Amino acid sequence: MSVTPSIKLGRRRNVRLALILATVAATFFIGFVAKIMLLSSH
């Protein structure tokens, strides 16, 4: 039984999940900053 392919798959899945979470977090952060800028300008 080889263990390495499943570990590689798991890491790849974790990397993809981390990228998705980072993108969502960045989108929320940018939207939050834009909202603050818009509210402070009015």
Structure confidence at residue 13 as a pLDDT band (50, 70, 90): confident
pLDDT of residue 18: 94
- Average pLDDT of the chain is 87
Q: Which residue has the tokens 């834009």?
A: 34
